[in-house]
A and B are shown apart, each in its own frame.
Chain A
Amino acid sequence: MAERAEIVVVGAGPAGIAAACAARECGRSVRVVDENPHAGGQIWRGELPQPWRTRWEQAAVPMQAGATAFGFAGEQTLLVECEGRAMEIAFERLIVATGARERLLPFPGWTLPGVTGAGGLQALMKSGLDLAGRRVVVAGSGPLLAEAGASLLAAGALVAIVAEQASFRQMIPFLGRIAARRGKWTQALRIASALRKTRYRAGAWPLSVERRDGALSVTLRLGPRREVIECDYLACGFGLLGNTELAQLAGCQVVNGCVVVDEHQRTSVLGIYCAGEPVGIAGVESALAQGLTAGYHAAGREDLATACTPGRDRGRRFQRVLAEAFALRPELKELATPDTIICRCEDVRLGELAGFLTWREAKLHTRCGMGACQGRVCGAALEFVAGMPAASVRPPLVPVSVGVLAGEQ
């Protein structure tokens, strides 16, 4: 199958939806690709809130669902895997809106069954895992941690604690910003009231976890104290990392884990835009503003794109506030011991990585990052723990079969 559209959008989260709507409303032919079965991304998961639901329905953008972009064939053709087949989609302009994933950090026991991401456990719950009556410890960092705690409680889980590694003091500017925004208020109140049913602790983080008698036994640091808590699940996420791989593969400049864009979301590669989390973690509203900007600009409506500037600027400011409020504390770098697995795919332990000066050298000689995830998890972990800037990106972005990679259609 070979398809073509003036504007191709990868990712149907808020940024991608906004971009696709904007471009479509300007009369362009648009196509959206997303690996999930429905539009909405991580946050909306198929249930778009108003006014976006109506806008998305009215735009009626053709969407290739269940389709994963894994590379490029030339400068203006995206390669997509869909139901075990390769598909080529030619574009004039590409909008990369690939969202983010959770940052997982290594500590003793982090690879045990029952230890998941914080968003990861939420996702498992939404896809049917029954958590009613199950004991859960939520730990890590970021605004989504509180939200995860609240939604797990709502599903009947017994959330023993939500442990946020940032100190309360560090979070004040963030809380202040939320207090200043009416829209955010209601959401914050809802979360805060939900969390009354558990303990929310700032300045708290996991030290280790082990499995004892069929349950997990988590050791947390709570300020000056240690506390051991028994649970069935440890849901642990240390904020978000933008999915920059597709943009990197396209040759776009990436600095400090963020795709570099100009005021109209244009990347360093002509005709390629990027919007949402790959540009920097700043939440839904910013993603929407950036998506609109990219969509309008790609559609040739610079005037409309420029009109989105205030929203984008607010997003930029929020991004900085978030980054400072939830900056990871250095103690977290010391959690992993020589025996702690760093690369889950290839079973490489931290001790084996000692003495290597660069990621590439470590990879070549230990297989760290050579497995199916190609360093998506261990790359970020090692960058944080050992200060080694992580993996390089090659096609296929995700494992695809030899048949698909050979172009069998």
Chain B
Amino acid sequence: MSGGNPDVVIIGAGIVGAAIAERLSAERLKVIVVEADCAGSGATAAGMGHVVVMDDSEAQFALTAYSRRLWQEKEACWPKAAEYRRPGTLWVAADAEEFAAVEHKHAWYGAHGVQSEILTAGDLAREEPQLRPGLAGALRVPEDMVVYPPAAARWLVERARRQGAVYMQGARVEHTTGSVVTLASGTVLHTGGVIHAAGAQGGHLPVTIPVAPRKGHLAITDRAPGFLRHQIVELGYLKSAHGHETESVACNLQPRATGQVLIGSSRQYGVHTAAVELPMLHRMLRRALEYMPGLAGLPVVRTWTGFRAATPDGLPLIGRAPQCEGLWLATGHEGLGITTSLATAELLAAQMLGREAAIPAEPYSPSRFGEKSAHA
């Protein structure tokens, strides 16, 4: 970057901030990325890294399907550390009622151009022998992926740097407006614009935004190569993800490139401490065991938690912040920010550069919650 003020300061080098930095620096904007910890260290270090197409709403579908395509287009670029693989997703139906939903989902995906196939109970048992007997079947979405998000974020930051972006690691933003960013060190940055990509954290913002932290637990086993082949998600997951109960769990199992099994998932509102909570872990693991009893014997090497940035309607905030000139938002991705990071960057870049985007951006516009966000 040559002298003068930056065009934009990006707050946060999680997967979202990193993707935006890569995108905008490729467009020759002068970019500074300010990261309090290190690249990919927030929710990005905690998430499962399932890149998945979702069908719960047209808007969610558009964003996830577009973004999955972007992940795929970069297939040859991702470094080995990003562990980019395509094991596919199995949406597992426990009973006949859920199997009916599988058929519906299959038709819906078909109508929207996403490949999927129905597995009968017998197919399912052959594909994933560790699942308990008696399940009704599943929908396989073969093109869904699994990645290691912190490495992907780091690579995006590296690429942004090669394109001229300045990366400030270990620098916390204390306060920001749309044009002046104050760091904890006392340094003040003057800038053409500010992008808030700090995930579930927002204390430095001049306005309040409708984002609440939603805590999740994960557990990872020791290596058990071949134990699992697909990402396995119970169909009830959607209920857990999109319900507004204060607490819920769903069976969500992932084969890691290392041969480990990553076990999720839980959702809690209103908890702000990062500590692993045993009752929640119990519930989550028991749910997993209901689907895959053989997991009981695998050793768990670590458990941890992370915070999803949840919005009232489950869709992210991508675009201008209401009531604050120069401030842009890129947060609120809840449990899908790894998947939707690349599309987020494209949508934001299009808006900032006044270009047309590949998909309509309105559903994610921060102004949908009204122009009047309260001042913090």
Contact = CB atoms under 8 A, between A and B. Distances in A.
A358 B169 CA distance: 11
B35 to A, nearest CB: 11
Contacts of B276: 394-395
A370 B302 CA distance: 8
Interface in A392-409: 394-396, 399-403, 405-408
A401 B38 contact: no
B301 A372 contact: yes
B221 interface: yes
B38 A357 contact: yes
A74 B301 contact: no
How would you classify the secondary structure of chain B's contact residues: helix, strand, loop or mixed?
mixed
A79 interface: yes
Interface in A349-375: 357-358, 360-361, 364-365, 367, 370-372, 374
Interface residues of A, number: 28
A79 B176 CA distance: 45
A365 B303 contact: no
A66 B40 CA distance: 40
B170 A402 contact: no
A193 B342 CA distance: 71
A52 interface: no
A396 B303 contact: yes
B81 A365 contact: yes
How would you classify the secondary structure of chain A's contact residues: helix, strand, loop or mixed?
loop
Contacts of B45: 364
Contact of A374 (B37, B219, B263, B302): B302
A401 B297 CA distance: 5
A101 B37 CA distance: 31
A408 B297 CA distance: 11
A361 B303 contact: no
Interface stretch (B281-289, B333-341, B351-359): B281-289
Interface of A: 71-74, 79, 357-358, 360-361, 364-365, 367, 370-372, 374, 394-396, 399-403, 405-408
28 contacts: A72-B278, A73-B278, A79-B278, A357-B169, A360-B41, A364-B38, A364-B45, A364-B150, A365-B151, A372-B301, A374-B301, A394-B276, A399-B299, A399-B300, A401-B298, A402-B219, A402-B221, A402-B288, A402-B295, A402-B297, A402-B300, A403-B289, A403-B296, A405-B281, A406-B285, A406-B296, A407-B278, A407-B282
Given A360-B41, A361-B38, 8 more contacts: A360-B37, A361-B37, A370-B301, A372-B299, A395-B278, A395-B281, A403-B289, A403-B296
